[in-house]
Amino acid sequence: MKNKKHYVIVGNSAAGLAAARSIRLIDAQGKILVLTDEEGPAYSKIMLPLFIGGQVSREEMVLAPESFYRENAIELKTRAKVQGIDISHCSLSLENGEKVPYDELLLATGASPYLPPIEGIHMPGVYPLRTREDAERISAALSCIQGEAVVYGGGLVGLKCLEALFNRVGRVRLIVSSDQILSMMLDRTAAAIFQTRLEANGIKVHLQTELVACRGKGSLEKVVLANGQEIPCGLMIVAKGVVSNMQMIAGTSLRAEEGILVDKRMATGNPHIYAAGDVCQPDDLLGGGKRQFPLWPLAVEEGRVAGANMAGVSQVFSGGIRMNAVELFGLKVISMGITETQPGPLVTSQSRQDGAGYRKIILSGSRLKGCIMLGDINGGGVVESFIRSQQEVDEFFIRKVVAGSVSYAHRLWPRGGRK
pLDDT at 354: 79
**Structure-model confidence comparison of residues 22 and 384, the more confident one:** 22
Q: 3-state SS string over 358-405?
A: EEEEEEECCEEEEEEEECCCCCHHHHHHHHHHCCCCCHHHHHHHHHCC
pLDDT category, 343, cuts 50, 70, 90? low
Residue 414 confidence (pLDDT) above 90: no
Domains (range + CATH), the chain: 6-112+244-310 (3.50.50.60), 115-240 (3.50.50.60), 330-411 (3.30.390.30)
Q: Which residues pair with 113 in a beta bridge?
A: 242
pLDDT category, 1, cuts 50, 70, 90? very low
What's the pTM value of the predicted model, to 2 decimals? 0.90
The conformation of residue 110, written as its DSSP 8-state character, comes to -
Instruction: Give the list of residues 6+ apart from residue 1 with CB closer than 8 angstroms, or none.
Output: none
The secondary element (H helix, E strand) that includes residue 166 is helix 156-169
Residue 153 confidence (pLDDT) above 50: yes
Summarised one tens digit per residue, pLDDT across range 39-61 is 989 999 999 999 999 999 999 99
Residue 205 identity (one-letter amino acid): V
Residue 392 and residue 413: Cα distance in Å, rounded?
A: 10
Residue 78 and residue 72: Cα distance in Å, rounded?
A: 17
Residue 417 confidence (pLDDT) above 50: no
Rounded to an integer, the average pLDDT of 342-348 is 66
pLDDT at 60: 95
pLDDT category, 348, cuts 50, 70, 90? low
CB of 365 within 8 A of CB of 353? Answer: no
Residue 283 and residue 285: Cα distance in Å, rounded?
A: 6
Residue 313 and residue 306: Cα distance in Å, rounded?
A: 10
Rounded to an integer, the average pLDDT of 326-337 is 92
Rounded to an integer, the average pLDDT of 215-230 is 95
Q: Which of 79, 7, 2, 1 is closest to 272 using CA atoms?
A: 7
pLDDT at 2: 59
The conformation of residue 189, written as its DSSP 8-state character, comes to H
Strand stretches in 194-277, DSSP E: 204-206, 211-215, 222-225, 230-232, 235-238, 242-244, 260-261, 273-275
**Structure-model confidence comparison of residues 341 and 287, the more confident one:** 287
> What share of the chain in percent tops pLDDT 90?
75
pLDDT at 416: 46
For 116-128, b/e burial (b = at least 16 CB within 10 A) is eebebbeeebbbb
pLDDT at 196: 94
Q: Pairing relation of β-strands 235-238 and 126-127?
A: parallel
Residue 297 confidence (pLDDT) above 80: yes
- Supply the angle between the helices 156-169 and 132-142 in degrees, to the nearest 10: 30
Across the chain, mean pLDDT equals: 91
Q: What are phi and psi of 397, to 5 degrees?
A: -65, -45
For 17-29, b/e burial (b = at least 16 CB within 10 A) is bbbbbbbbeebee
